[in-house]
Structure 1
Amino acid sequence: MLVFLIALLVVVIGLVVFAILGHFGTHLEDPTTTSPFESLPRGLVTAEDVEQVRFDQTLRGYRMGQVDEVLDRLRAELQARDDEIAMLRGEPARPVRD
């Protein structure tokens, strides 16, 4: 019985310490990084440009906004290249899909 009371006391003290330090109900701070996020450059995108992209990491993966920005840019670039290839071949352009 004494061991149970000591364990309960340790748990209660731990909860009080966490509450005092403000760990309950707070949000995680933005992670810091030593290399700032650099999106794809303007103009033509090369394979080396895509290889150089590094996303900031968060608790559950990468920052979604940064990933979405790069994917949107790549989609637009690929669509433009496909349209140019079709035009050079004399083929009708494919409709843009969303």
Structure 2
Amino acid sequence: MALNQQQRDEKAKAKRAQLGDKELRHRVRPGSNACLERNKARAGITETSELLQIVLMNMEHLGDAAFTALTTPPRHTFEITETVARHFHNQSLRELRRDPGDENTAAIK
């Protein structure tokens, strides 16, 4: 006799408990999801959990420097251009001339 859905669910739950499976869930933003999809396609994997498990297992073999480089999130660099710096400087001087307050403006030309 075939098992009904409830019996199958209970059997699966018991097996997961016996094996020590733990369900992990998290939300990702569109950019992270797109990256995940690209990597799944690159590896020829259709399941997200499979890709993540493979990546986690292979991270064990990385040296400390490679692991740190891989797990450090990318940061955007911000550089102020010479034009923007000059504009800011000129605006600051203009404001000091307009309202010097307690600033010493003797050196301002």
Fold-level match, TM-score > 0.5?
no
Higher strand fraction (1 or 2): 1
Q: Greater relative contact order: 1 or 2 (C-alpha under 8 angstroms, separation 6 or more)?
A: 1
**TM-score, normalization by structure 2:** 0.31
- Specify which structure has the higher proportion of helix: 2
TM value normalised by structure 1: 0.34
Q: Who wins on radius of gyration, i.e. which is larger? A: 2
